[in-house]
Amino acid sequence: MSRVNIRKFCVAPMMGYTTPHARKLYRILSKKAFLFTEMIHSKTMIHSKTKDLIIENDKENPIALQVGGSEFQDLAECTKIAKTYNYDEINLNIGCPSKAVQKGNFGVCLMKDHKLVKHCLETMLESADIEVSVKCRIGIGKELNYDFFYNFVNEINNSGIRIIYVHARNAILSGISPKNNRTIPLLNYDFVTRIKKEFPHIQFILNGGIDSIDKALSLSKIHDGVMIGRLIQDNPFSLLNIDKLFFNTTTENNICEKIILEYFQYVKKRLHKDTIFRLLSPLLNIFFGFPNSKKFKTEIQSIMKNKKIDVLESLFLQFIDRQQITMNFSTN
């Protein structure tokens, strides 16, 4: 019997967005999509007094805990934490190009030191019985260099890892913002295709420039899996198609009203732990593209200040009723 590929469709880690609350909404919308936490620095994961709120896993599996850092002992401890919190995988971020990660010597700048990355991964693999993976770029700087990418993968392959998520762009470390690093460096899917042929035993999950579910589905047929971020952030309802299209199953909650009611059950249980704004933020984009949605979001945000959760729930349901929204399974 062939093994099910649980990483056929992944939701990318996004700082400030893939919070526990957003992941809960994503899991309501799709039972199969492979989810990620935000990147969490190793020291925050170990020492923060609020780490339980940051790294909680509320039955969100399949899911990976993403960590940033380069100190062996810290990464070992984080790997044990991932196992304790029932994550399916711990992922080492070697793709983020922000100034903060460069200053802290983690993220994409680690691609300059192949051996250090290998030792980090070896330490993590030895620390706990859990899948360890990497998320990286195809290179650093303005010039594309396949040999650099090959040498990086070849070195970390020797650590024993078998899953690599590849943002198929270089990272430019100066002169452009992290946001522009997601769009300005040229995409090169061919590098990912070539590296797969060199290391067929490794799963390479493609990330970068995948701006529609149709495109994701097409690419998933020639790659081990795909990873999407901003499309899901902007339009969470895109996830309703995923179980059917990528995993040949169906999601029960294909009616907006059911989704809203289930998510508000989650929100009500956590009002003592977090603010209404943080709890409801993931829901504000759920009506992406529908008439009057911008006006509705503005109304909701003003009412959040009153902290009347039942009123807010009623408003979401009224909006659905006014729009007569029943989701269809378009792949766009």
**Out of 10, 96, 109, 120, which one is annotated catalytic?**
96
Q: 40, 52 in Cβ contact below 8 A?
A: no
CA 51 to mean position of chain CA atoms: 19
| Whether residue 256 lies in the annotated active site | no
Residue 274's CB is within 10 A of a number of other CB atoms, namely 14
Place of tokens 């902290």: 307
What is the DSSP track for 185-208?
Answer: SPP-HHHHHHHHHH-TTSEEEEES
Show the tokens assigned to 272: 């003592």
Q: Indicate the helix (H) or strand (E) that contains 65.
A: strand 63-68
Report the alpha-carbon distance of residue 19 to residue 26 in Å, rounded.
10
CA-based torsion, 95, 96, 100, 102: positive or negative: positive
Q: 178, 96 in Cβ contact below 8 A?
A: yes
Show the tokens assigned to 200: 């067929």
Catalytic residues: 96
